[in-house]
Structure 1
Amino acid sequence: MSTSPATRTLLPLLPDPMAEGHSRASRSAMTCTYRCDDACFKPAPNTTATPHVRDEIAKVVQRRSVLKGAAVGTGALALAGGVLSSPVAAAPGAGRGAGGAVSEANPSADLATTPFRTVPPNRRDAVVVPDGFTNDVVIRWGDGVLPGAPRFDAYDQSVAAAKKQFGYNCDYVGLLDHPSNRARSVLVVNHEYTTEPAMFPAEGYTDAEKIEIEMYNHGISVVEVKRGATPGSWNRVAPRNAPLNRRINVDTTFFVTGPAAGSDRLKTTADPSGTRVKGTLNNCAGGMTPWGTVLSGEENFNQYFAGTIDPEYAASYARYGISATGSRNWGSVDPRFDLGTEPNEPNRFGWIVEVDPRQPKASPRKHTMLGRFKHEGANVIISREGYAVAYMGDDERGDYLYKFVSKRKMAKGRSGAARDRNKKLLTEGTLYVARLVGDGAEDGTYDGTGRWIPLCSDTESFVDGWTVEDILVDTRLAADAVAPTRMDRPEDVEPNLVNGRVYAALTNNSQRGTRFPADEANPITTSQVRDSLDGELTPAAGNNNGYVLEMLAARGDHAAPAFTWNLLLVCGDPEAQETYFGGYPKEEVSPISCPDNVAFDTKGNLWISTDGNRLGSNDGIFRVPVAGAERGNVQQFLTVPRGAEACGPLLTDGDRALWTAVQHPGELDGSSFDEPGSTWPHTDDFPRPSVVVTYRRG
């Protein structure tokens, strides 16, 4: 291994990836390669003719009422001196009475209600928060999780060390009550993927060593944390004093639950029972259950597999983006990732997994009843009659929204027996996929109705010619057969416990306007061009900025099959004519692009983290009221360092603490470990993905 760091300087700010021809993605080309195997450069796996809501409504004409009288906007803010200049950035605050600097006369630490000076768009290599707030790094890539973990040394990494250390690229953040210590909580964090150029110096590691170390930097970390001296602050507990700490990695045994457990399609040489799986991969978002466990979504699992494809599996593989040339090359060190050797191994990934942080020795589970696709995550709410309802998104261009409703009701109480019963709720029930229909009215809004189409229960198939097992293993193909609505990359889908509505972040679709035409549920959110013949508006370059969908279950019952929907936000530059912010004055909001994850504070405000800002600024986190006079008032609270994605977010401590996972800082084209695009959190001369908590100073 290499023994000493080289003297390096930070790479200069790199150009917008769009300027370099990376026009199909809002991220850097490096991020596309290592996160999703360049999915945005490939044809979308959904090649079916499943209906789109454009078939139900007049296509673009309905938007005239939204666009009427609007001046043509810039489409992107201009960069000046490293900070994006805009009316929003120049304003002292944002919103009618909601903005402005925090003063001694208004010292509230409650992030749900306190005014703050909005953070302007910027490209600083820092976590930037409003005046009056500060943030601490709670845990970094390589920090010790288990007793005996060595001090992190990027020049002397090993599999043995990685098994005991905090993994790479942190994404989902959950915080649960400690079972026996009120001063502590249990932090659960996903490690979505690894970025080889940023992790290793140019010399010192063989390709095989890199792959093995990367394998063990995936997974999930469970870490005990304790409250700090200032309300909202947190610190991690030393591993030797944290018996609940755990590193779930590629070797961890998972039990398979639900109707597909034991299916022939899950059986491998190592597991002829089809009921136990080693490891979890590409864990993206997640959710905390009402019974005190964490759900984590396996997303872009396709990239870890490569090899000879048996024609029998070709259609299934293609629908999930699995190819003979997957980018990771893990099969070179572990034959289970070789398609020719173990053709069923890919079927053992793409599930929702459940981890119980209170039981560090218990095997986590993969729930087949929630379907297999590129899960962003899953979030549970209890219906009015007591059933567990999980909402989920399949993060791919043209794929779908899903819902699961349990067969049994949630047991009341905190007893061990009630908790054990509730941990089985996700093993039996009914899986649905969504169909949305626009109302077609020229009323200045994007809205309509929807229906949840059943795919199967744990005992019955509702798709002609399909068994329950096959529906759950090939959920995408089964869903194609019932004509749901193709969407613009459904990311986080989460119920708001205050108003009962469900919010889905639809991050973007670079092919919107080509094979995915615009309509009321999937609008154009980019620059527009006007047809000189008839004045119609047509898409110029796809949906680059995304939107936020708001859904309301019929009669407020989440178990009901019907719902209504509207678009709360059509994201982008507020000056651009196509953007919409819940009816709030556009000149008073922060620009926002590519919503990814969502969360809620105790007042019901929506908090949005972004991934792949197309407006030139670093990604960030935004507060958005969803009711009253402030509905739609997008206020940027935080930005993450250069090249990073803002993950989480999570509000805790009575809204005094905002948790953020800073994923892939410095992941910019042309950067490397030796020539980094960032050095955040500035404890080393290379970047380290980390979890931070932001709170009121003093």
Structure 2
Amino acid sequence: MTFQLPLIGNHSPSRAALTCRYRCGDACFHEVPNPTANPYFGDLVSRRTALLGGTALIALTAAPAAAAAAAEAPVGAAGHPAPRGLDFTPVAPNAEDRVVVPDGYRQSVVIRWGDPLFPGAPEFDFDHQTAAAQARQFGFNNDFAALLPLDQRELTGLLVVNHEYTTEQLMFRGYDAANPTREQVEIAWAAHGLTVVRVERSPRDGALRPVFSRHNRRITLATPFEVRGPAAGGDLLKTSADPTGTRVLGTMNNCAGGVTPWGTILSGEENFNQYFANAEALADPRLSRYGVTGSATTRKWERFDPRFDLAQEPNEVNRFGWVVELDPHDPTSTPVKHTALGRFKHECANVRVAADGRVVAYSGDDERFEYVYKFVSAKRFRPGDSKAARRHNMTLLDDGTLYVARFSGDSPPEEIDGSGALPSDGRFDGTGEWIPLVSGNRSFVDGMTAEEVCVFTRIAADRVRATRMDRPEDLQTHPRTGVLYCALSNNTERGKPGKEGATEPNPRIDNRHGQVLELTERRDDPLSTTFAWNLFLVCGDPAAPDTYFGGFPKDRVSPISSPDNVAFDPHGNLWIATDSGGALAGHNDGLFGVPVEGRSRGHLKQFLTVPRGAETCGPVVGRQVVLVCVQHPGEVDGASADNPASHWPDGGDSQPRPSVVAVWREERGRLGDIGLG
């Protein structure tokens, strides 16, 4: 048997066509949905000083300058100890069909697709799947993960996981994509959504084991959701099944997410456009701005439920593309879709609390030439775990102000030539501003109501001339400094005829490997509407001249492509999960750790790799255990359930199963601190 793992293709940027088809509806085969002609990035440079003023400019650029000074300090001399949390020997790039971890570490599978979650739920049987069974089993293609401790020793916790999408060709033998059966479709509906499962571990063992619990829960496409915020109850959200516009069944294509300070989970609905058929019957240009085009869909769900047929239910598509909130501690609670955070292809939503108690949520729109957003709540966070505090905090995302980012560079445009060569000041950096779009029922966008801004947020951001970025994915703030880190995955369309060329935050044309951006809001105040930014990493092969690793010597770092999810460990190191699809030949995707401060700033090291065809997702990096979601193992061109390209995690001739993996360090037979160094 042979399988094709292409290095270059029409899809993004070297991903298997199978992944493109089922995860994002072949988004990279279609025209970029953003047709706007916002000002060329370089045109904004001359406006920077006028916008901010000289004193503000000095204050804003101080943090990146300090970071650069740290990077230029003596770095990693021989014998210099690794930063705490990163004392491991890097894993070499490989193409193995297994999870590879450093010497001295152990691993185990926590939970697999199909594992039962409730008493009486059947064990997984690949050849005898049913929708009823899947609704009581762990879902498919796990992406984001969160682990919420239930005791001080962290021996028990709630594991919450997204299930982004289904790959029917790998789920069913003899699958006929042109004629799926109702049972196959209903299994897919049940395999989407989220899982909550209680996990336990031994004090001497890093392995996490799922257990039956009252907390265990499956959220699927049949689960009722409440809609809240400015668009709730509006005409754009009403359907024949829900004339109130306030109740939606299910969530889909959930990508990354976040954990709120009040203990709930946020999950971003991403590539929802691919599930809705017959957009051509409506001839609504607002649909094409979201990539909702054409007639029949890949999965053919419209044959089995009219809500997926826009000719019958034109507003159903507007009920997806939101940030959803779930209370995993209350299995009877109704999850919420928050319209105040805007509707687009949310990669994530991550929250921090400002000094005055208001909460700030950051989110990226994961598509080529899309935008970075933040939301500031109108009400203030109440600390504590009382029922009253939790009820109040669960309303914080209902009302506030939504902003979109506009970036300015500080280098002459001619120095940003698309090659990735650093400008004369030695850094890709500059300043920027958050542009308000909507606050409660007040719109800041001419010609659009508040409801329209929330439902068609991309169009609103176009009108205020936001900066087009290279697929904004996960965003996380440093737990101590408050600096925001944004993964920009890639954009092979940048610089092509008719498309925007290189800009300082997106400095390479045909960008196959992506970058990681640092954003410092003025005075470390998340309520500020101005910020400074710089590129911390410009990813790819360290031997290539167009890469940059925070100023650290490139001959000592691991190669990395397509940063996707980011997380911080307890020591303040940044961890990056990748989704490259083999953009670097012979390199499976992996998880990387890198210090963002001190003499080793930029010293990127690969911690693990995932099996062939898989993507690394949803890292959780604790003091004793690292969790990663291994998504779509074996998803390479030519693979199917009849011709599997991977047998991970069970080996032999088994079918590949998306799974969550735990990794821990052993010292003298005991569980060690991941961060000993």
Q: Give TM-score scaled by structure 1 length.
A: 0.86
Do 1:51 and 1:484's aligned partners in 2 also have CA atoms closer than 8 Å?
A: no
Which position in structure 1 is the counterpart of 2:421? none
In the alignment, does 2:194 pair up with 1:220? yes
Shift of 1:228: 2.6
Aligned twin of 1:353: 324
Q: What does residue 510 of structure 1 align with?
A: 492
In the TM superposition, what are the counterparts of 1:395-434 in structure 2 within 5 Å? 395-434=366-405
Contact 1:52 1:485 in 2 (8 A): no
Q: 2:285 is matched by which residue type in structure 1?
A: A
Among 434, 437, 442, the alignment partner of 1:452 is: 434
SS at match of 1:522: coil
Aligned to 2:516: 548
Displacement after TM superposition at 1:397 (Å): 0.4
Match of residue 183, structure 2, among 192, 209, 220:
209
- Judge which range, 119-128 or 49-58, deviates more: 49-58
Taking structure 1 as reference, are residues 112 and 279 closer, same or farther at Cα in structure 2, changes over 3 Å only? farther
Residue-by-residue CA offset, 1:282-311 (whole Å, 9 max, x unaligned) = 000000000000000000000110025454
The residue that corresponds to 2:49 in the other structure is none
Moved more, 226-235 or 190-199: 226-235
CA distance in 2, matches of 1:402, 1:27: 27
Counterpart in the other structure of 1:38: 26
1:95–1:588 Cα contact (<8 Å) kept: no
Q: CA deviation at 1:56?
A: 3.1
Displacement of 1:225 in angstroms is 0.4
Per the alignment, in what secondary structure is the counterpart of residue 629 of structure 1?
coil
Is 1:607 the counterpart of 2:575 in the alignment? yes
1:138 counterpart = 2:126: no
Q: Deviations over 1:339-385 (max 9, x none)?
A: 11100000000000000001101110000000000000100001122
> 1:74-85 maps to which residues of 2 (within 5 A)?
none
1:198 is aligned to 2:170: yes
**SS of the residue aligned with 1:497?**
coil
The secondary structure found in structure 2 opposite 1:175 is strand
Aligned to 1:534: none
Q: Aligned partners of 2:80 and 2:592: how far apart in 1?
A: 13
Cα offset for 1:229? 4.0
Cα distance in 1, alignment partners of residues 154 and 625 from structure 2 = 17
Q: Deviations over 1:115-160 (max 9, x none)?
A: 2110011000000000000111000000011222111111001110
Match of 1:370 among 331, 341, 351: 341
Task: Read off the aligned partner of 1:320 and give its amino acid letter.
Answer: Y
Corresponding position: 1:233 with 2:207: yes
Match of residue 657 from structure 2? 688
Q: Tell me the equivalent position of 1:623.
A: 593
* Alpha-carbon distance in structure 2 between the residues aligned to 1:203 and 1:356: 36
The answer as to 2:133 corresponding to 1:161 is yes
Code of the residue aligned with 1:47 in structure 2: it is P
Q: Structure 2: which amino acid aligns with 1:606?
A: L
- SS where residue 47 of structure 1 aligns? coil
- Secondary structure (helix, strand or coil) at the match of 1:426 reads helix
AA aligned to 1:54 is: G
* Percent of residue pairs bearing the same amino acid type: 54
* Structure-1 separation of matches of 2:329 and 2:277: 37
Which residue in the other structure is 1:577 paired with? Answer: 545
Instruction: Please name the residue that 2:530 is paired with.
Output: 562
Report if the CA contact (8 A) 1:287-1:295 is conserved.
yes
1:285 matched to 2:256? The reply is yes
Call closer, same or farther: CA 1:484–1:229 in 2, change over 3 Å.
same
1:308 and 1:507 map into 2 onto residues whose CA distance is 28
Q: What CA distance in whole angstroms lies between the structure 2 residues aligned with 1:348 and 1:174? A: 25
For residues 25 and 570 of structure 1, what CA distance do their matches in structure 2 show?
A: 16
What is the aligned counterpart of 1:589 among 537, 540, 557? 557
SS of the residue aligned with 1:627?
coil
After superposition, the Cα gap between the structure-2 partners of 1:117 and 1:183, relative to the gap in structure 1 and judged at 3 Å, is closer
Q: Distance in 1 between matches of 2:317 and 2:86?
A: 47
How far apart, in 2, do the equivalents of 1:635 and 1:95 lie? 13
Residue 28 to residue 172, structure 1, CA distance change in 2 (3 Å): same
In the alignment, which of 495, 502, 507 is matched to residue 523 of structure 1? 507
Distance 1:27 1:505 in 2: 18
Instruction: Find 1:300's aligned residue among 267, 271, 277.
Output: 271
Q: Note the 1:62-141 alignment, pairs <5 A.
A: 96=77, 112-141=84-113
Q: Which residue of 2 aligns with 1:669?
A: 637
User: What is the deviation of 1:419?
Assistant: 1.3
Q: CA 1:356–1:631 in 2, change beyond 3 Å: closer, same or farther?
A: same
Are positions 1:29 and 2:17 aligned together? yes
The answer as to 2:614 corresponding to 1:644 is: yes
Letter in 1 for 2:37: A
> Matched residue of 2:520: which SS?
strand
User: Are 2:174 and 1:185 aligned?
Assistant: no
- Which moved further from structure 2: 27-36 or 145-154? 145-154
AA aligned opposite 2:501: P
Residues 57, 451 of structure 1: CA spacing in aligned structure 2 closer, same or farther, 3 A cutoff? closer
**Aligned residue number for residue 315 of structure 2:** 344
- Asked if the contact 2:145–2:159 (Cα under 8 Å) also holds between the matched residues in 1, the reply is yes
After superposition, the Cα gap between the structure-2 partners of 1:646 and 1:40, relative to the gap in structure 1 and judged at 3 Å, is same
Measure, in 2, the Cα distance between the counterparts of 1:491 and 1:640.
20
CA distance in 1, matches of 2:79, 2:114: 40
- Whether the 8 Å CA contact 1:284–1:297 is kept in 2: the answer is yes
Corresponding residue for residue 4 of structure 2 = 14
1-structure distance, mates of 2:33, 2:180: 34
1:215-269 deviation line (CA, Å, top 9, x unaligned): 11000000000123435431111x2xx1100000011000001111101110111
Q: Following TM superposition, by how much is the alpha carbon of 1:96 offset from its aligned partner in structure 2, in angstroms?
A: 4.4
Distance 2:96 2:76 in 1: 25
Q: Structure 2 length as normaliser, TM-score?
A: 0.89
2:442 and 2:279 map into 1 onto residues whose CA distance is 34
Partner Cα distance (1:681, 1:496) in 2: 33
Closer, same or farther: CA 334–95 of 1 in aligned 2, 3 Å? farther
Structure 1 partner of 2:145? 173
1:467 to 445, 449, 454: 449
User: In the alignment, what sits opposite 1:489?
Assistant: 471
Q: Confirm whether residue 476 of structure 1 aligns to residue 458 of structure 2.
A: yes
Three-state SS of the structure 1 residue aligned to 2:663 is strand
1:57·1:519 contact (CA, 8 Å) conserved in 2? no
Partner amino acid, structure 1, of 2:258: G
* Contiguous gaps of at least 5 residues in structure 2: 47-74, 413-423, 670-677
Contact kept? 1:619, 1:645, Cα under 8 Å: yes
Question: Alpha-carbon deviation of 1:208?
Answer: 2.9
511-520 or 628-637: which moved more? 511-520
The residue type equivalent to 2:471 in the other structure is R
Specify the SS of the correspondent of 1:306. Answer: coil
* Cα distance in 2 for residues equivalent to 1:353 and 1:465: 28
**Are the equivalent residues in 2 in contact too, given 1:28–1:669 (CA < 8 A)?**
yes
Assess, with a 3 A threshold, how the Cα gap between structure 1 residues 567 and 98 changes in structure 2: closer, same or farther.
Answer: farther
Report the 3-state secondary structure (helix = DSSP H, G, I; strand = E; otherwise coil) of the residue aligned with 2:664. strand
Asked whether the 8 Å contact 2:441–2:451 carries over to 1, the reply is no
The change in CA–CA distance for 1:249 and 1:491 in structure 2 (over 3 A counts) is same
Q: Which moved more, 1:146-155 or 1:430-439?
A: 146-155
> Aligned AA for 1:216?
A
Question: Secondary structure in 2 aligned to 1:660?
Answer: strand
Taking a change above 3 Å as real, the CA distance of residues 474 and 13 of structure 1, as seen in their structure-2 partners, is same
Structure 1: 4+ residue segments shifted above 6 A: 179-182
Q: Classify 1:163/1:112 alpha carbon distance in 2 versus 1 (closer, same or farther; 3 Å).
A: farther
Q: Aligned partners of 1:32, 1:622: CA distance in 2, in Å?
A: 24
Query: Alpha carbons of 1:98 and 1:476: their partners in 2 closer, same or farther (altered >3 Å)?
Result: farther
Q: Is the 8 A contact 2:279 2:287 kept in 1?
A: no
